[in-house]
């Protein structure tokens, strides 16, 4: 019996207990509130976002950073099966609770598929969404809904989105869906799978809780903030929250600020900081929702640091900052974790990146069969 079948069986059993404690629509002092369990989870990942990247919001953002609103802060070690992780192994640690090799998408160190938290929650009746400013097939979002042995397999990842448990997605990556390489028109397949697909704008006449939505708004990655991407990330986050609010079911959303990493790789401080501030604005949408809702856990962290970014003095002037970089790649500095809402207290302390998976599961009262 495969791991996936075993865990499906277990979640069916757990699902029964779960549904007994489920509230009826309208009675919002819910069981989850009484039990202190998270009904919904919003995981926001700032790709390549180390402590200096977070700190930049406190020096370069004109308003108070939303990072300041979190009561609990922790630190994670981000190594994969080797010392310095990539985004694939980093996201796979968050999504499956397993350390894997760099390049792994939803598979363990032996390339065996591992059920992701998005899939486990979906099996329990949760709705789910993924949002990114990269292609939606890129390593971070892919690790939540796909299982392939290498992050480069973008068309295979796109194909897996069709049969995945995802109900709402937004990002770039159109070129991986049009069949230019494998001849399969994945856009058509998504439509057949009840997705309302929009390739021109983040707009819906009126959101229907019975529909699924997909937005593919760029050929590959979304435009940079420096090239006028606008408020795509906070707006897509808000739209997902509005959409999931149409249902009484719990939801899991992964929101990625993908290009903080790309600004780090480019050693371009303006690029990095503009992406970081945009990500902070998306965090604001998640926190506003969670504060009103009372049953939503918000977790913000990063897969690793990129660029060895430092908020250094500008030419020795201690009253002026000019960021410097020590690498064009990733670094393995400890990474901050911010948590708000039911179960947030679990996220304090210093632990491995796989602890993000374990703690989200514990906060939601879900046990894993893995
Ligand atoms: Mg990424
Ligand atoms: Zn990177």
Ligand nearest to the CA of 262: 2
Nearest to 213 by CA among 263, 253, 262, 260: 253
Q: Give the Cα separation of 302 and 51 in Å (integer).
A: 10
Q: How confident is the model at residue 12 (pLDDT cuts 50, 70, 90)?
A: very low
Q: How confident is the model at residue 70 (pLDDT cuts 50, 70, 90)?
A: very high
Q: Give the Cα separation of 46 and 261 in Å (integer).
A: 8
189 CA from centroid of ligand 1 (Å): 25
User: Residue 191 pLDDT more than 70?
Assistant: yes
Place of tokens 């097939």: 137
- Nearest 5 degrees, angle CA 330-CA 177-CA 279? 40
For the CA atoms of 148, 153, 159, 160, what is the dihedral angle to 10 degrees? Answer: 20
Ligand nearest to the CA of 138: 1
Which residues, other chains included, contact 246 with Cβ-Cβ below 8 Å and sequence gap of 6+?
207, 208, 209
185 CA from centroid of ligand 2 (Å): 29
310 CA from centroid of ligand 2 (Å): 17
Q: Give the Cα separation of 307 and 199 in Å (integer).
A: 32
138 CA from centroid of ligand 1 (Å): 6
- Nearest 5 degrees, angle CA 34-CA 40-CA 46? 135
Q: Give the Cα separation of 301 and 316 in Å (integer).
A: 31
84 CA from centroid of ligand 2 (Å): 11
Q: Contact 100/86 with Cβ under 8 angstroms?
A: no
Nearest to 41 by CA among 124, 164, 138: 124
Q: How confident is the model at residue 179 (pLDDT cuts 50, 70, 90)?
A: confident
104 CA from centroid of ligand 2 (Å): 14
Q: How confident is the model at residue 180 (pLDDT cuts 50, 70, 90)?
A: confident
DSSP per residue, 190-221: HHHTTEEEESS-S--SS--TTSEEEEE-SSSS
Ligand nearest to the CA of 94: 1
Query: In which element (H, E) is residue 42 found?
Result: strand 40-46
Task: Give the single-character DSSP code of 84.
Answer: S
Ligand nearest to the CA of 261: 2
Query: Catalytic positions, please?
Result: 87
Which residues, other chains included, contact 267 with Cβ-Cβ below 8 Å and sequence gap of 6+?
307, 325, 328
Ligand nearest to the CA of 140: 1
Ligand nearest to the CA of 330: 2
Q: At what angle do helices 87-96 and 354-364 cross, to 10 degrees?
A: 30
210 CA from centroid of ligand 2 (Å): 36
Tokens of 38: 């998270």
Average pLDDT of the chain, as a whole number: 92
Note the helical H segments in the chain: 3-21, 31-35, 51-60, 87-96, 117-123, 139-145, 154-162, 186-192, 232-244, 260-265, 269-293, 354-364
Q: Give the Cα separation of 105 and 29 in Å (integer).
A: 38
- The pLDDT assigned to 20 comes to 38
259 CA from centroid of ligand 1 (Å): 7
Nearest to 167 by CA among 230, 83, 233, 253: 253
264 CA from centroid of ligand 2 (Å): 8
pLDDT in tens, 200-252: 999 999 999 999 999 999 999 999 999 999 999 999 999 999 999 999 999 99
Residues around ligand 1, an ion, CB closer than 5 A? 47, 87, 140, 258
- The pLDDT assigned to 35 comes to 64
275 CA from centroid of ligand 1 (Å): 13
271 CA from centroid of ligand 1 (Å): 15
User: Residue 23 pLDDT more than 50?
Assistant: no
pLDDT in tens, 135-148: 999 999 999 999 99
- Nearest 5 degrees, angle CA 257-CA 258-CA 262? 125
What are the boundaries of each domain within the chain? 41-368
Place of tokens 């363990």: 108
DSSP per residue, 112-179: -B---HHHHHHHTT-EEEEEEEEETTSHHHHHHH--BS-TT-HHHHHHHHHTSS-SEEEEE-GGGTS-
- The pLDDT assigned to 5 comes to 45
CATH class of domain segment(s) 41-368 = alpha beta
Residues around ligand 2, an ion, CB closer than 5 A? 261, 306
């Amino acid at each position: 019996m495969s791991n996936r079948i075993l865990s499906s069986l277990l979640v069916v059993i757990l699902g029964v207990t779960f549904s007994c404690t489920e509230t009826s629509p309208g009675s919002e002092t819910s069981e989850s509130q009484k039990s202190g369990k998270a009904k919904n989870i919003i995981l926001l990942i700032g790709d390549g976002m180390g402590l200096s990247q977070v700190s930049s919001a406190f020096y370069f953002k004109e308003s108070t950073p939303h990072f300041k609103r979190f009561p609990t802060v922790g630190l994670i070690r981000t190594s994969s099966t080797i010392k310095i992780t990539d985004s694939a192994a980093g996201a796979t640690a968050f999504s499956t609770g397993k350390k894997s090799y760099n390049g792994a998408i939803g598979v363990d160190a032996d390339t065996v598929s591992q059920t992701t938290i998005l899939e486990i929650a979906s099996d329990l009746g949760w709705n789910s969404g993924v949002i990114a400013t990269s292609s939606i097939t890129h390593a971070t979002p892919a690790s939540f809904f796909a299982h392939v042995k290498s992050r480069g397999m973008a068309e295979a990842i796109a194909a897996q989105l069709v049969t995945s448990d995802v109900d709402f997605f937004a990002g770039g990556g159109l070129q991986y869906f049009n069949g230019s390489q494998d001849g399969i028109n994945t856009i058509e397949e998504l439509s057949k799978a009840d997705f309302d697909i929009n390739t021109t704008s983040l707009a819906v006449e009126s959101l229907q809780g019975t529909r699924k939505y997909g937005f593919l708004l760029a050929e590959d990655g979304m435009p940079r903030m420096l090239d006028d991407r606008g408020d795509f990330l906070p707006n897509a986050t808000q739209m997902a929250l509005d959409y999931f609010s149409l249902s009484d079911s719990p939801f899991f959303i992964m929101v990625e600020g993908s290009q903080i990493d790309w600004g780090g790789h480019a050693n371009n401080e303006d690029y990095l900081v503009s992406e970081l501030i945009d990500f902070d604005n998306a965090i604001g949408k998640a926190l506003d929702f969670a504060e009103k809702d009372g049953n939503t856990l918000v977790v913000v962290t990063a897969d690793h640091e990129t660029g060895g970014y430092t908020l250094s003095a500008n030419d020795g002037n201690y009253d002026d900052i000019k960021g410097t970089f020590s690498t064009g790649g990733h670094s393995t500095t400890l990474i901050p974790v911010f948590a708000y809402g039911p179960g947030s207290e679990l996220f304090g302390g210093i632990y491995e990146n796989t602890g993000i998976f374990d703690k989200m599961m514990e906060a939601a009262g879900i046990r894993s069969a893995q």
